[in-house]
Amino acid sequence: MVNLSTLELVVQEQHARFRKQDLSVPREVDYEACLKTELIVVITGIRRSGKSTLLRQFAAKDKNFCYLNFDDERLISFDVSDFAMLMLLWQKQGNFKTIYLDEVQNVPQWERFVRRVHDEGYKIFVTGSNSKLLSSELGTHLTGRYRQIELYPFSFREYLQLCKVSTKSVITTTKQAKILHAFDSYLLHGGFPYYCKTKERSFLTMLYDNVLYKDVLFRFAIREKKAFRELANYAMTNVTKEFSYENLAKNLQLKSSTTVKDYLSNMEEAYLLCMLSKYDFSLKKQHVSNKKLYAIDNGLRNIVAFSFSGDSGRLLENAVFIELKRRNSGSELYFHKDKRECDFIVRSGASIVQAVQVCEQLTPENRQREVDGLLEALERYKLPRGTIVTKDTELTEKYGKKYADIVPAWKWFLNNF
């Protein structure tokens, strides 16, 4: 339990700081739907992706609300029984109908309190930085009562807003030059809001350590800290590459493939990285086949990874993956591989609805391979057209009854192809 006077001080300090918080760039979420819904709004995502700022943007529409961030060392002993005391403190301050709870996964059984006050008629917004922990709690106690938003670091469209580069009017040659310059920076440095504003490299280093130690090592009680860190660094360095759990265990001299699988799953739950499976109509084959790794953000990846001269193409592929995740909430992403390979296919329900190939430069040496990989995916999943994202090539080609839209990356990121 937490001390009453400590809790009261934290509540007052946090509320005052929250009200003064900069509203920053509007995010690509449906604000009106979230504000109007009677469901609990759950915002998940990696640390410092802007979840608290999004809460503040919602709160800007409401004068009477209460707020608490549980990622505060003074609340480390807070447990579910303390919520009753918290409600009394809030009620002493006056009438309110909206409650904002930040990093709520730090309190075991938080969902019981949220369900109770939601039943009492309060509007609830919560954020959290662990996907599995939240999903299990939501599925157990809040089924049918919540609306979930997965928040990522800035998209390129949001990044351009921060840079005050408008894309609403006609894109002139001068404006395109600004967009291209911004895209090069975005591709290299990523989209974490604070870093985009300050360019403080120490922020990304500290963020990486916080995710590893607070959200993974501490939460999952991992003892082999050195081995875990080596695996994390290896994973961030080798984004977009295929791997098997067995080979990783052998190369990094870890105990077993099960250990590798568990560690990578823990990092995925903390939104540090994502694992992409090869698509197969057989779920068993899909489960055991090789996978690929993708980082949540290029800037975070580059701050810890060993860099190589060929990284720009992999950074583009990594950024495209995250953008596809952002655009296709509720759908599933895979890669296609048979005789040829296609980087990404999107499954919605029981159907494959999109195929995307990424190639920084189409050259005489790689063009046939890249096009054939896309065409094989289009044929396999009965799609009429697909997309090849490149650095600067733009044209549409027809192959029999199939179409390949070859799109410059900056334009693909600004539009839904």
Q: Which residues lie closer than 8 Å to 314 by C-beta, 6 or more apart?
A: 239, 240
Q: How far apart are CA 356 and CA 345, in angstroms?
A: 6
Give CA angle at 195 (193, 199), nearest 5°: 145
Mean pLDDT over the full length of the chain: 93
Cβ neighbours of residue 113 under 8 Å, at least 6 residues apart? 80, 83
* Band (288; pLDDT cuts 50, 70, 90): confident
- Which 3 state secondary structure label does DSSP give 89? helix
Query: pLDDT, tens digit, for every residue of 60-86?
Result: 988 899 999 999 999 999 999 999 999
d(CA 148, CA 165): 30
Indicate the pLDDT class of residue 133, thresholds 50, 70 and 90. Answer: low
List the domain boundaries for the chain.
Answer: 4-150, 200-307, 309-417
C-alpha span between 328 and 318 (Å, rounded): 15
The domain made up of 309-417 is a member of CATH 3.40.50.300: no
pLDDT at residue 370 is higher than 80: yes
d(CA 302, CA 319): 13
Q: State which fold the 200-307 domain adopts.
A: Arc Repressor Mutant, subunit A (1.10.10)
pLDDT, tens digit, 9 for 90 and up, residues 139-153: 777 888 999 999 999
pLDDT bin (cut points 50, 70, 90) of residue 310 is low
Q: What is the mean pLDDT of residues 116-122?
A: 95
For the stretch 211-262, pLDDT in tens is 999 999 988 899 999 999 999 999 999 999 999 999 999 989 888 999 999 9
CATH architecture of the domain with range 4-150: 3-Layer(aba) Sandwich (3.40)
Q: What pLDDT is stored for residue 137 in this prediction?
A: 67
Same-fold call for 4-150 versus 200-307: no
Rounded Cα distance between 152 and 50, Å, is 8
Q: Is residue 186 helix, strand or coil?
A: helix
